[in-house]
């Protein structure tokens, strides 16, 4: 089987959860899925704290946010991707119109890209998200002006809105925004960015990231403050809660979420136990239920992602300066394939 290309965003300036960063920027690696052999590719260094990276559907573009805690606004960068070498070419940068940027995503066509702003500490309330049109890959200034207000019951973590994830719905009709600070998932119309609906999750649960089932009208939200997965039914521009499932005994500090390409299971990050929690997805209802956990071979797994065919799963272990790559079997078993040293990785994305 041919090699696969993995990109990882690495912290290169101090942030709250990585005060002594060892990263250099956006690193990449070519991995042989049969042998685990790894060949490092070029590292893109002219970027500050690319703590989340995302690839367009055709793999020709990569977007990265720059997460800072001392700037008036943060930045979204868009790159052209050379699939043969892993080299990135900067196409353009735009302000995210908010602070502590934390997530980004392309629409299905690759002509739009959005970023989410967490907004930490005493920083002013900027935009919750920014949405940008791309012209030959070059991002235009944000089309949106969306601000979230409110708070949750957890005074330490929910004193204000904290948009943590932004994704287009599979039908491309809406933009989903997950807000940890106000325990909600909001849907905005993709045409005019007007609010279509808001789904309130259990108070204090702290929703973090959302992922969609590959062929059912179902979404899954990984929660951080009460670690688990919320299953949502999606229809007519709204979500409805189907189930709430804890992420196993002692799970803490939920992180990323990824649905296996076949739609039979998903994995959620459990940073407190340095593990991935596996959830089985009911083939009829689509509801996710906890089914076991696998150690990630490192410390503080912040993000994880499948390769296109679901054979490989990569995990960014922030505090051990490693990306752990697993093989993913048809029964959901994860087997370590290779541990890749790289400084302070916070995000992973397979081409």
Q: What's the confidence (pLDDT) of residue 92?
A: 98
Could you tell me which of 280, 322, 281, 277 has the C-alpha nearest to residue 299? Answer: 322
Q: Does pTM surpass 0.85? A: yes
Q: What's the confidence (pLDDT) of residue 122?
A: 67
Residue 248 phi, psi (nearest 5): 95, 170
Could you tell me which of 345, 347, 349 has the C-alpha nearest to residue 21? Answer: 345
Q: What's the confidence (pLDDT) of residue 229?
A: 98
Separation CA 268–CA 266 (nearest Å): 7
Backbone dihedral region of 89: left (phi > 0), alpha (psi from -120 to 50 degrees) or beta? Answer: beta
Separation CA 115–CA 163 (nearest Å): 10
User: In this predicted model, what pLDDT tens digit does every residue of 86-116 receive, in sequence order?
Assistant: 999 999 999 999 999 999 999 999 999 999 9
Residue 271 phi, psi (nearest 5): -70, -30
Q: How many CB atoms lie within 10 A of CB 42?
A: 14
Q: Is 331 helix (H, G, I), strand (E, B) or coil?
A: coil
Per the DSSP assignment, residues forming a β-bridge with 210 are: 221
* 89, 154, 321, 338 from 104: Cα distances, Å: 18, 26, 23, 27
Could you tell me which of 116, 101, 22, 27 has the C-alpha nearest to residue 67? Answer: 101
Cα four-point dihedral sign 8, 13, 15, 18: positive
> Cα dihedral angle (72, 255, 297, 104), rounded to 10 degrees?
-50
Separation CA 103–CA 320 (nearest Å): 22
Separation CA 195–CA 175 (nearest Å): 9
Residue 172 DSSP class: S
**What residues in the chain have per-residue pLDDT under 50?**
none
Q: What's the confidence (pLDDT) of residue 121?
A: 75
Separation CA 100–CA 69 (nearest Å): 6
Structure tokens at 115: 């970023």
Q: What's the confidence (pLDDT) of residue 1?
A: 57
Could you tell me which of 186, 107, 175 has the C-alpha nearest to residue 144? Answer: 175
Q: What's the confidence (pLDDT) of residue 120?
A: 85
Cα four-point dihedral sign 115, 121, 123, 128: positive
Separation CA 275–CA 329 (nearest Å): 17
Length of the chain: 351
Could you tell me if 226 and 208 are in contact, meaning their C-beta atoms sit under 8 angstroms apart?
no
Strand order in the sheet with 88-95: 52-55, 61-66, 75-81, 88-95
């Amino acid at each position: 089987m041919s090699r696969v290309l993995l990109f990882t965003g690495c912290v290169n300036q101090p942030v709250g959860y990585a005060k002594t960063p060892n990263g250099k920027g956006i690193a990449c690696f070519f991995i042989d899925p049969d042998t685990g052999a790894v060949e490092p590719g070029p590292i893109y260094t002219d970027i500050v704290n690319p703590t989340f990276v995302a690839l367009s559907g055709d793999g020709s573009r990569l977007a990265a946010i720059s997460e800072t805690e001392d700037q008036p606004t943060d930045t979204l960068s868009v790159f052209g991707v050379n699939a043969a070498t892993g080299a990135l070419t900067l196409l353009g940068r735009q302000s995210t119109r908010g602070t502590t940027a934390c997530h980004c995503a392309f629409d299905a066509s690759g002509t739009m890209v959005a970023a989410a702003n967490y907004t930490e500490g005493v920083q002013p309330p900027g935009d919750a998200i920014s949405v940008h049109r791309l012209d030959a890959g070059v991002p235009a200034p944000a089309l949106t002006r969306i601000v979230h207000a409110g708070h949750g019951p957890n005074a330490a973590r929910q004193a204000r809105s904290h948009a943590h994830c932004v994704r287009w719905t599979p039908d491309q009709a809406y933009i989903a925004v997950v807000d940890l600070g106000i325990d909600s998932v909001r849907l905005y119309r993709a045409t005019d960015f007007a609010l279509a609906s808001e789904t309130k999750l259990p108070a204090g649960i702290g929703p973090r990231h959302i992922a969609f089932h590959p062929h059912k009208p179902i979404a899954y939200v990984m929660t951080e403050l009460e670690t688990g997965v919320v299953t949502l039914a999606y229809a007519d521009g709204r979500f409805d809660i189907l189930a709430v499932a804890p992420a196993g005994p002692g799970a803490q500090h939920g992180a990323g979420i990824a649905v296996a390409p076949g739609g039979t299971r998903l994995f959620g990050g459990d940073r407190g136990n340095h593990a991935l929690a596996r959830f089985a997805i009911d083939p009829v209802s689509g509801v996710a239920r906890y089914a076991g956990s696998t150690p990630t071979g490192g410390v503080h797994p912040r993000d994880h992602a499948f390769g296109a065919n679901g054979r490989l799963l990569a995990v960014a272990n922030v505090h051990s300066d490693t990306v752990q790559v697993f093989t993913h079997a048809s029964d959901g078993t994860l087997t370590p394939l290779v541990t890749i040293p790289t400084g302070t990785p916070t995000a992973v994305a397979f081409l």
